Amino acid sequence: MRRSLSARSFFSKRANVQSLETLDSLKENLIDIKGKVVIVTGASSGIGEATARSFGRNGAKVVLAARRVDKLQTLAQEIEAMNNGAEAFVVQADLSKLEDIQSLVAQTIQKFNRIDVLVNNAGFGRLAWLENLDPLKDIQAQIDVNVMGVIQTTRQVLPVMMKQRAGSIINMCSMAGLVGTPTYTIYAASKHAVHGFSEALRREVKPWGIDVSLIYPGGVVTEFTQHAGIKRKTNAKTPKFMLLTAEQVGDAVVNLVRRPRRMLIIPWLWSVTAFMNKFLPGLVDYTTINRFTIPEREDELKLPPSR
């Protein structure tokens, strides 16, 4: 009896020591954000702004990039006032212009001499029927920012990270990068492109010590919908309990730097939709067409076909 008790206490002590060791090694493996040089694109509002603020709270040196420089400056003052070693540096950049992207990276290097993290967040959606989208202002512009902006910014930052043999790239995708829904044609195309680009890149750069993580948020309460031009008859929208705040996504981005992951779907319940779309696409087609497309376009569908 005595022997078995002491054996039990020996094993429980050993388990405790082991779990403490695991905790220590986990802590060691968690990347410290303090002092890291982080570029956040689209930092003037919504998710980008919240992400930059979250990096600031963790004592990072944050480079804030977007077109609305007044908003960036206000955020920079807020970050500098955090008094925790955080720094902020504002760069006005239109992510659809290669020269602005080159200047963003050059100014960051001049100021901080390295880049530890790139958050490719800038983007927008114009959510209407394809034939109603303007070929340039809606279609071309979305591809220019959401796809080309991500590719060109990464292309400019990559040599810096490769020289460092370290870096973390977080690409802001969307559930639209996994599931295509009506009125999201171009937006879904752009986010599917981000998905494919990031997957290939991840496999290119890992040996250089560079992590590439993709984040797929569902609906997030930001300015996004104000710019999207959404007109709905069915009033179909993301249920409230599934909506995220920009802060929740921002904190998730910071955690992806600490612990890189191939992909993160938030809220996790959207994984069910992604799974169904992959393995039961007929069912998803049927539901979407009958619950959304037909009711939305009923009036137009009633008109006789023209000869």
- Catalytically active residues, by annotation: 187
Q: How is residue 76 written in tokens?
A: 């920079």
| Shortest reach from residue 131's CB to ligand NAP, in Å | 22
The answer for 38, left when phi > 0, alpha when psi is -120 to 50, beta otherwise, is beta
| Shortest reach from residue 237's CB to ligand NAP, in Å | 11
How far CA 263 is from CA of 8, 201, 266, in Å, comes to: 41, 13, 10
Return the percent helix, strand and coil in the chain, to nearest 5: 60, 15, 25
Looking at beta carbons, which residue is closest to ligand NAP?
46
Alpha-carbon gap, residue 62 to 55, rounded angstroms:
7
Alpha-carbon gap, residue 100 to 39, rounded angstroms:
14
Query: Residue 139 in contact with residue 189, Cβ under 8 Å?
Result: no
DSSP 8-state code for residue 131: G
In terms of residues, how long is the chain? Answer: 307
CB nearer to ligand NAP: pick between 42 and 59: 42
Query: Residue 209 in contact with residue 165, Cβ under 8 Å?
Result: yes
| Shortest reach from residue 109's CB to ligand NAP, in Å | 19
| Shortest reach from residue 74's CB to ligand NAP, in Å | 12
CA contacts within 13 A on the Cβ side of 129:
10
| Shortest reach from residue 304's CB to ligand NAP, in Å | 38
CB nearer to ligand NAP: pick between 158 and 179: 179
How far CA 208 is from CA of 11, 196, 251, in Å, comes to: 41, 20, 26
The 3-state DSSP class for residue 169 equals strand
CB nearer to ligand NAP: pick between 44 and 58: 44
DSSP 8-state code for residue 290: I
CB nearer to ligand NAP: pick between 56 and 123: 123
Query: Residue 171 in contact with residue 198, Cβ under 8 Å?
Result: yes
CB nearer to ligand NAP: pick between 14 and 68: 68
| Shortest reach from residue 207's CB to ligand NAP, in Å | 28
The footprint of ligand NAP (CB under 6 A) covers 42, 44-48, 66-68, 93-96, 121-125, 145, 172, 174, 217, 219-220, 222-224, 227
Which of 60, 61, 90, 66 lies closest to 76 in space, CA to CA? 90
CB nearer to ligand NAP: pick between 75 and 160: 75
